[in-house]
Structure 1
């Protein structure tokens, strides 16, 4: 049996790739969703882009996750984050730090919209579910159009540059159909370069 938590922590690319291999080795079918943001059926869980032979819980987790990105995150509906996140969720960020609790996670997510108010995730290209584990890739887009707090009481002036950032999220779900842990993966170097700060 593979220890999924240690596998996820090992490294972003290697860990995610190993998850896909582990899924194949345990007969989990991989599914690809829409890559065109106009294909709303696949985006919003209309049946396209989901693996076949999912258990009801696995299908539910993937549908909740689609709703999380397409509606809750993109629409900044923070009062609905508890539909997908446990109150005491631990979130692991791409730079290696983690946070505990839904309130801190909401504050961190909302902070992204301060300097890029058009931030959105409207597509999931790849979905995987295996027992309490989901792995989903998407594309986060936005524009650095407003001043960015620098954490020292000042601001970084906007560059007006757009970002298109491939990302992946691995979630570990509980029996209440919310995530106890969430692992976020994207390339921070590419992210900062795209918005003119790298």
Structure 2
């Protein structure tokens, strides 16, 4: 159904469409009206500063909603609190993870070690905001705000370390996941601007 077309068809049709929207999305017609009026006028600022999030998308299947909820838990609770033993709740043991520079790794153990390495130089890393959430079938995509402070030695990839500058970073990131039949990621694509991060912490 084209909700916007129905809304232009008169008050009765509009209320009917809003009632249907409310049933499908979980809410009252008034809440649905407010939600879609808000979206038609909404332009997001910089969520790094504003902490804004779009409302959850409508017409989600039960599985799609579960997948988005899983992503919130994986970032807000598991990753941000370094609860590594819980990563199998969202990742397959044989997960392939693609990084921004083009390389990829195979296996959950390797992925966890890569994430642990991030906390060596920024122990306070966290993701607390998902500005945009999208789910379709077994595909899920979320944007996030990745932030922390460069307070620990950073491995330089050549056996040495870069001394911390004490400067914070906060930047946009995006994760796209392909889920298997068990509802966990079998493939993950990570995107963030490493140059922006290095500039913020004083390394570029």
Offset of 1:105 from its aligned partner?
0.2
Alignment partner of 1:80 is 2:86: yes
Cα distance in 2, alignment partners of residues 144 and 107 from structure 1:
19
Alignment partner of 1:197 is 2:185: no
Matched positions, count: 159
1:142 alignment partner in structure 2 = 148
Offset of 1:79 from its aligned partner?
0.3
Offset of 1:152 from its aligned partner?
2.6
Offset of 1:153 from its aligned partner?
2.6
What TM-score, normalized by structure 2, do the two folds share? 0.74
Cα distance in 2, alignment partners of residues 99 and 108 from structure 1:
9
Alignment of 1:79-158 (within 5 A): 79-158=85-164
Cα distance in 1, alignment partners of residues 74 and 55 from structure 2:
16
Cα distance in 1, alignment partners of residues 115 and 55 from structure 2:
26
Q: Deviations over 1:151-194 (max 9, x none)?
A: 33321100111101100000001110100000001111111111
Offset of 1:123 from its aligned partner?
0.3
Q: Deviations over 1:116-162 (max 9, x none)?
A: 00000000000000111011001000000011122333211001111
Pick the structure with greater CA Rg.
2
Offset of 1:80 from its aligned partner?
0.2
What TM-score, normalized by structure 1, do the two folds share? 0.76
Q: Deviations over 1:20-57 (max 9, x none)?
A: xxxxxxxxxxx999x555x9xx7xxxxx8321110111
Structure 2: runs of 5+ lacking an equivalent: 1-38
More strand by percentage = 1
Secondary structure of 2:57's match? coil
Higher relative contact order (CA 8 A, sep 6+): 1
Alignment of 1:1-198 (within 5 A): 35=47, 49-198=55-204
Offset of 1:102 from its aligned partner?
0.1
